[in-house]
Amino acid sequence: MATFNISRLKWLLPAVCLLSIGWMFVSLWQLHHTIEEFNSPMVFNLQFNVAVCSFFLSTFLCFKVYIGLFKKNSNISTLLWDVFYSATFAILASLLVKSMLLYFLSSTIWTLKVWNLFEFVIYTFFIANCFFSIKKLILYQKTNRTIILWIIFELSVFASILTSFFLFKYNSLPFVLFTLPLTLLGLYLSFNVKWAAFLNFHQKLVALLLLIISFGILSGLFLDIYEQHMISGMSIDAINNAFLMAISAFVLLNISISILVLLFSLPTSSVFEQKFGEVMLFQKLHQSIQLGETEKEIHKALLESCCDSALATGGWLEMTDTNGRITSFENSGIDHIDAFNFKNLLRKNHIKITSEPQYIKDVKALSHLQKINTNRYKSLLLLPLLSGQHRLGTLVLLKDKVNAFDKEMVDMIITFMSQAAIAIQNSRLMGQALETERYREELKIAKQVQERLLPDVPHYSSDIEIAVLTGGATDVGGDYYDFYKDKAGDITVVLGDVSGHGTSAAFNMAQTKGIFQSLVQLNLDPIDFLRYANTALSRCFEKSTFLTLIVIKINPKEKTLQIARAGHCLPLFYANKQPYYVESKGTGLGVVRGKDYASFIECKVLSYAAGDSLLLYTDGIIESSNKQGELFGTDRLKNVFINYKEQKANSLLEKIFQETKAFSGKNEPEDDSTLLLLKFV
Amino acid sequence: MNISANKEDRTYVIIIDGEIDASSSIELDTAISDAIKKGERKILVDCAKLNYISSAGLGVFMSYLEDFEEQGIKIALFQMNDKVKSVFEILGLVDLIDIVPTREEAEKIVE
């Protein structure tokens, strides 16, 4: 609906405008014939005045709609060019009409009247265009106050069209009463020249030129009109038209003020441009913070911003870690070699980086200048990049003039740096948070994998009771146990601990389980079992990973135990009412690679009887420590075992666990710990 | 945990101060690999102030055993307290790496 109205208005207004011109022409023709006398003063004629009013109204509305709607998004330059084009068009049209009329027709009063009418029409068009272009300029970066004032002004201007019905003399009191307040309001509004500030030096020059030419043309046209005013008997005396004069005064004043403002702001425009550039750079830096860009990109943005705003010849940004090691280097306008030479220069001159900015006004004042291009680099600014008390890095800026960094510049750069420090900290924290989250997910999976790898505790026969207890499972540990009973009835029990934690421990455990399950079926003795396991695991594991394992092979018929230990904690054997640790030589699996592993291990054979038991455990149990830093140790474990030896296998393990917790004063052991008890009944 | 290294007349001494757990084992690894890169052939490790070593720390020593052998590097650990030494013993590392009570003995081993 709205578009329909606008498109209609678009055609309606120019049509009314053209009709009004025609009407004016016709009324003029009629008047010309009724008033025969030459040089007779203009008399009041209602029809003619209505035509003039309708012409004013339609023309102004036409331009209002045209500029307001169809040039909504034009920028300052386009508006100024429009004013210039309309001025050029007006002067050319005026000259054309003037020469045509004077050349083709004799200089009769009728010709003069037609020329006067055309001049008037052209002038009105031009003034209307100027008026609405200026409106856009005045309302640039508008405030509510300006808008209200403008609305009042525009309404008064439109209302003043009605003055055309009165034939005031331009020097009469009512004329002045009408035009003066309007002009004053216009003058006041004309001081809204904020747009001028947004032009750069070059744009300002162009704008100045355009406005001066437009001003010249406007003055020329105005002089033409004034000339016609001096010839009596003209059809329309524009000078005596309060409306037209008020607007002309406004437009002329506005253009003059704009010219003056542009002229005076020319010298400072470079400073403004620079400040504006700084703001844009600041914004860029800020955006890089918000977009969560990588640290490298923030370094780049910081260095560029600082170099640009300081107009530096070159500079570099060096990031360091907590130990002062360089983690990242970014340079701009200076190559690596020069930067390196400068760093040497600073070191040789004992200039240390502190938490304060350091300024070397003249590089030549330093010594050891052999490798430095002192023509290109004359002053140097050294700034630490600080986050709180902590130094993240150093920024060095160089300029090709002596003493070229002023205080404002340094302050600005320090502000940049503190912004960037925040950005860098944020990006680091973000990275850490993501890393932690990923790690947590991995752990969850690893834990699930691990839980599936550990078997249910079997019940092989009534005379061997087996119990297992694991704890400290806040992290994914590497404790592993497994059982196997072969056809002959021999039972193999293993308990192991893969070094490391987390995902890698879980995967290593999976490999260990695979190897156990394949080797155990070969019915090997524990030494051979460990030998093969060592070869296999040495190929699977990383160089720094190893597995401690204890292998127990139980022969229930002969009531014997074969015990082989590969770097694992010594098993506690309780036999004949005496507990003792079974000592044997034994190196961890994966420790000795490519050598005869069998020589590093030995197998103990023990007999057992009903009432005996064997306790296996991982280092988490004996390494739980109390506040004094004491370890739980093997002696305490032995004592606790004796205290509760009469209990059932499961509750005995529970008791041991409780004792370690009581000892360490923590709810859960720090390390993962596993207890495995074989109770012979 | 703090690790420092000194190049002395004939030997290269790595001094460990504190606990070696999973995270600080990386520093130990760096210290040893630095020594190997520098071409050091006689390395002493001062364990007087080492009061705990985790399996990750043991793994570091273990992972360089082959390199030591292949490149003819002699290494000896000295002044290790009993608590820490028992960890080396249980794993069986005492058979593969020299752990001696005093610096003089350690120097004799690497000479």
Helix (H/G/I), strand (E/B), else coil: B51 = strand
- Is residue A55 pLDDT above 70, yes or no? yes
- Chain A residues whose beta carbon lies within 8 Å of the beta carbon of residue B70: none
Domain ranges of chain B: 2-110
Cα–Cα distance for residue pair A575/A81, rounded to 1 Å: 108
Cross-chain Cβ contact A500/B56 below 8 Å: yes
CB A661 within 8 A of CB A626: no
- Look up the pTM and report it: 0.53
The tokens describing A504, both together, are 């890698």
Find, among A398, A376, A281, A264, the residue nearest to A331 by Cα: A398
Q: Which pLDDT belongs to residue A191?
A: 86
CB B110 within 8 A of CB B74: yes
CA distance B23 to chain A (A): 11
Fold entry, domain A455-680: Phosphatase 2c; domain 1 (3.60.40)
Q: Write out pLDDT tens, residues A498-519.
A: 887 777 888 888 899 999 999 9
Q: Write out pLDDT tens, residues A112-132.
A: 777 778 888 888 888 888 888
The tokens describing A229, both together, are 């005013």
Q: Write the DSSP assignment of A63-99 as a string of letters.
A: HHHHHHHHTTT--HHHHHHHHHHHHHHHHHHHHHHHH
Helix (H/G/I), strand (E/B), else coil: A594 = coil
Q: Does A637 touch chain B (CB under 8 A)?
A: no
End-to-end CA distance of chain A: 98
- Chain A residues whose beta carbon lies within 8 Å of the beta carbon of residue B56: 499-500, 544
Cross-chain Cβ contact B55/A543 below 8 Å: no
- Chain B residues whose beta carbon lies within 8 Å of the beta carbon of residue A593: 65-66
Q: What share of chain B is helix, strand, coil (3-state, %, to 5)?
A: 45, 30, 25
Domain ranges of chain A: 2-267, 288-431, 455-680
Cα–Cα distance for residue pair A82/A258, rounded to 1 Å: 16
- What's the whole-number mean pLDDT along residues B85-90? 90
CA distance B63 to chain A (A): 4
Lowest mean pLDDT among A233-242, A345-354, A492-501: A233-242
Helix (H/G/I), strand (E/B), else coil: A413 = helix
**What CA–CA distances, in Å, run from B45 to A483, B32, B77, B94?**
41, 10, 5, 14
Cross-chain Cβ contact B60/A544 below 8 Å: yes
Find, among A120, A124, A252, A136, the residue nearest to A183 by Cα: A252
Residues belonging to chain B with any Cβ–Cβ distance to chain A shorter than 8 Å: 22, 29, 51, 55-56, 58-60, 62-63, 65-66, 83, 90-93, 95-96
CA distance A586 to chain B (A): 6
Q: Which pLDDT belongs to residue A41?
A: 46
Cross-chain Cβ contact A500/B55 below 8 Å: yes
Q: Does A550 touch chain B (CB under 8 A)?
A: no
Q: Show the CA angle centred on residue A611, arms to residues A608 and A614, nearest 5°.
A: 60
CA distance A575 to chain B (A): 23
Chain CA centroid to CA A279, Å:
15
CA distance A599 to chain B (A): 11
The tokens describing A266, both together, are 């020319």
- What's the whole-number mean pLDDT along residues A289-315? 79
Q: Write out pLDDT tens, residues A552-589.
A: 999 999 999 999 999 999 999 999 989 999 999 889 99
Q: Which pLDDT belongs to residue A551?
A: 95
Q: Which pLDDT belongs to residue A311?
A: 81
- Is residue A292 pLDDT above 80, yes or no? no
Q: Does A592 touch chain B (CB under 8 A)?
A: yes
Q: Write out pLDDT tens, residues A398-438.
A: 988 888 888 877 887 888 888 788 878 888 888 889 888 98
- Chain B residues whose beta carbon lies within 8 Å of the beta carbon of residue A544: 29, 56, 59-60, 62-63
Q: Which pLDDT belongs to residue A475?
A: 66
CB B110 within 8 A of CB B42: yes
- Is residue B5 pLDDT above 70, yes or no? yes
CATH architecture for residues B2-110: 2-Layer Sandwich (3.30)
- Is residue A156 pLDDT above 60, yes or no? yes
Size of interface A-B (CB pairs under 8 A): 67
Cross-chain Cβ contact B56/A499 below 8 Å: yes
- Is residue A606 pLDDT above 90, yes or no? yes
Q: Show the CA angle centred on residue A293, arms to residues A292 and A298, nearest 5°.
A: 115
Identify the CATH number of the domain defined by range A288-431: 3.30.450.40
Band of the pLDDT at B16, cuts 50, 70, 90? very high
Band of the pLDDT at A37, cuts 50, 70, 90? very low
Find the farthest-apart pair of alpha carbons in chain B and give their distance in angstroms, rounded: 34
- What's the whole-number mean pLDDT along residues A266-284? 75
- Which residue shows structure tokens 């608590």? B83
Provide ipTM, 2 decimals. Answer: 0.86
Q: Which pLDDT belongs to residue A477?
A: 76
More confident residue, A619 or A28: A619
- What are A494's strand-pairing partners? A482, A551
- Is residue B56 pLDDT above 70, yes or no? yes
The tokens describing A69, both together, are 């709607």
- What's the whole-number mean pLDDT along residues A39-52? 65
- What's the whole-number mean pLDDT along residues B50-79? 90
Q: Which residue of A has its CA nearest to B19?
A: A629
